[in-house]
Amino acid sequence: MERESFEDQEVADILNEYFICIKVDREERLDIDNIYMTVCQALTGQGGWPLTIFMIPEKKPFYTGTYFPKRNKYGHLGLINILTRVEGIWRNNKEQLVETSKEILETVKKSLEATSKETISKDIVHETYNEFSHFFNSVYGGFGTKPKFPTPHNVSFLLKYWKATGKERTLTIAEKTLSSIYRGGIFDHIGFGFARYSVDEKWLVTHFEKMLYDNALLATAYIEVYQATGKELYKDIIEKTFIYVLRDMTSEEGGFYSVVLNNNKSQIYEIVPFIEKQGMIEDQPTAYVCENFACNTPTSDIEQFTKLLMASNRL
């Protein structure tokens, strides 16, 4: 998002003209991150980074989200669309945003107070399984639709639930999810390692950061499913993941890098297993799809290429 939106001149012009921008290093200020992540989770039902918060001057939030592309795509609102909308409301109906921020703080406060008074029973374990079972995507694995995060801790829960109850559907959900994640573009089949998340429900078109915690937790989940099934596929995935972490995420001093960024302009290399032809044109990874003895014009645009694959029923 930094390269796609914040470093873009058009976005920067809007931000500098109408907003006061503050960038917080969450690694340094975990306290601030915790406050606004709580707001994000309360409003959207999920969290993550980069975390974007819109606030009135009194530092009361009225809108929040995680990933915003420059313009609307993949089902995400575009940052420019949001900025222009917020600026318009602030200019013409400021009271609406002020009132919204008050309501949000009240809602979050009540939610936190209610949560702190709740007692946890054993029923919550079964209710959690029922939730996962309900939202399980039986075609592509995982839960819900796009965007899709690996959430390996959820799979670990399912595996422990299977061990405790013997419910076979639980193991089926875990295996389908983990095998689909591996076979999709979210796993780098050339250099190894898992990307942060997929912007589509098929685990194909990914967000190309590779996070240390994702790879660590996914490795743990694959170890657990290997222990449960003994299938060599999972052992192979575990070894590839550790090869990647030790090779690309370990510093010479012995520590680990928290994130590896992909700065390539084209993302086509990352979905190599699905590509029929690939090459370099003007130093850009380029590919085309062939069907019935005819091929499309080579493209370096990941969105266009994905549409071509879908149109030819390759996905």
- 18 in the Ramachandran plot: left (φ > 0), alpha (ψ -120 to 50) or beta? alpha
15 and 144, same domain (yes or no): no
Q: What CATH number does residue 7 fall under? A: 3.40.30.10
Q: Give the end of a domain, one of 117, 142, 160.
A: 117
90 and 136, same domain (yes or no): no
Contacts of 41 (CB under 8 A, 6+ apart): 47
Q: Which residues pair with 198 in a beta bridge?
A: 148, 206
62: helix, strand or coil: strand
15 and 110, same domain (yes or no): yes
**Residue 19: predicted pLDDT:** 92
45 and 147, same domain (yes or no): no
21 and 86, same domain (yes or no): yes
97 and 73, same domain (yes or no): yes
pLDDT (tens digit, 0 to 9) for every residue of the chain, 315 residues total?
Answer: 777 777 889 999 999 999 998 888 776 777 888 888 888 887 777 777 888 889 888 888 888 888 888 888 767 788 999 999 999 989 898 888 888 888 888 877 777 666 656 677 889 999 999 999 999 999 999 998 888 889 999 999 999 999 999 999 999 999 999 999 999 889 988 889 999 888 888 898 887 789 999 999 999 999 999 999 999 999 999 999 999 999 999 998 889 998 888 654 444 444 444 444 444 445 554 554 454 444 445 555 555 555 555 555 444
CA distances from 130 to 69, 86, 125, 158, 175 (A): 33, 39, 9, 11, 17
133 and 250, same domain (yes or no): yes
17 and 98, same domain (yes or no): yes
Contacts of 98 (CB under 8 A, 6+ apart): 56, 60, 62
Q: Give the end of a domain, one of 84, 117, 150.
A: 117
CA distance 145 to 81: 23
Q: List phi, psi (to 5°) of 70.
A: -60, -45
**Residue 233: predicted pLDDT:** 96
200: helix, strand or coil: coil
Q: What CATH number does residue 170 fall under? A: 1.50.10.20
112 and 6, same domain (yes or no): yes
Q: Give the end of a domain, one of 73, 89, 117.
A: 117
135 and 221, same domain (yes or no): yes
282 and 187, same domain (yes or no): no
Range of the domain at 292: 268-311
133 and 256, same domain (yes or no): yes
**Residue 266: predicted pLDDT:** 42
In the chain, the number of structural domains is 3
CA distance 240 to 137: 26
